[in-house]
Amino acid sequence: MTRLRLAILISGRGSNMEALLRAARDPAYPAEPVLVLSNRPDAAGLQFAEAAGVAALAIDHKTYGKDREAFEFHVDSTLRGAGVEVIALAGFMRVLTPWFVKRWEGRMINIHPSLLPKYKGLDTHQRALDAGDTEAGCTVHWVSAGVDEGEIIAQARVPILPGDTAETLAARTLPAEHKLYPEALAKACAVIAAR
């Protein structure tokens, strides 16, 4: 089986990245992590990736000021230089331009902490609580030009319990993300490989 060359893009803690790296330790997993890239040099996840033996680097978006495309051009050329075939966004908190999305169309997926199409964007858990929802969850989807709007690959649900805060709900959702993301990435790899 050919494993697709995987890049994981992060901005911070990187716990979903860790879940993907763990899954990919299995030689039968359909993706092989070749690069972890952060837009923030202080992202904790970079150290974990390095310790796990995966190339890890930061491209600091602040260096580019408001020039999103120049930042993305550097990211794109780095990914292509590493021979990347599939991208998993894992807590990558930069909105990508249509140019970058188009370049990686059908090869880039994202995890989002809500049951899309509900609660695109930020503060998903607080918004679910404010709406009086009885369940929350997470979604893995293909990345398309609209933020958090691409076709859904997989979802996982968690209950909302009395007394929940955004923090307790996030803490309940995160383990569901860690289980869902490796499964959904494997599905995405199967789709890519079948093209």
Active-site amino acid positions: 112
The single-letter code of the amino acid at 140 is V
Q: Which is nearer to ligand GAR, 152 or 174 (CB)?
A: 174
Beta bridge partners of 110: 89, 141
Q: Which is nearer to ligand GAR, 133 or 177 (CB)?
A: 177
- Work out how close the CB of 12 gets to ligand GAR at its nearest, in angstroms, rounded to a whole number: 5
Q: Which of residues 99-138 bind ligand GAR (CB under 6 A)?
A: 111-113, 138
Is residue 159 helix, strand or coil? strand
Which residue has the closest beta carbon to ligand GAR? 91
Interaction between residue 37 and ligand GAR (CB under 6 A): no
Q: Which is nearer to ligand GAR, 61 or 112 (CB)?
A: 112
- Work out how close the CB of 8 gets to ligand GAR at its nearest, in angstroms, rounded to a whole number: 9
Q: Which is nearer to ligand GAR, 121 or 159 (CB)?
A: 121
Q: Which of residues 79-98 bind ligand GAR (CB under 6 A)?
A: 90-91
User: What DSSP line would sit under the chain, residue for residue?
Assistant: -PPEEEEEEESS--HHHHHHHHHTTSTTSSEEEEEEEESSTT-HHHHHHHHTT--EEE--GGGGTT-HHHHHHHHHHHHHHTT--EEEESS--SPPPHHHHHHTTTSEEEEESS-TTSS-SS-HHHHHHHTT-SEEEEEEEE--SSTT-SPEEEEEEEE--TT--HHHHHHHHHHHHHHHHHHHHHHHHHHHHT-
- Work out how close the CB of 138 gets to ligand GAR at its nearest, in angstroms, rounded to a whole number: 6
- Work out how close the CB of 17 gets to ligand GAR at its nearest, in angstroms, rounded to a whole number: 6
Size of the site for ligand GAR (CB under 6 A): 14
Beta bridge partners of 136: 158
Residues lying near ligand GAR in the complex (CB under 6 A) are found at 10, 12-16, 90-91, 111-113, 138, 174, 177
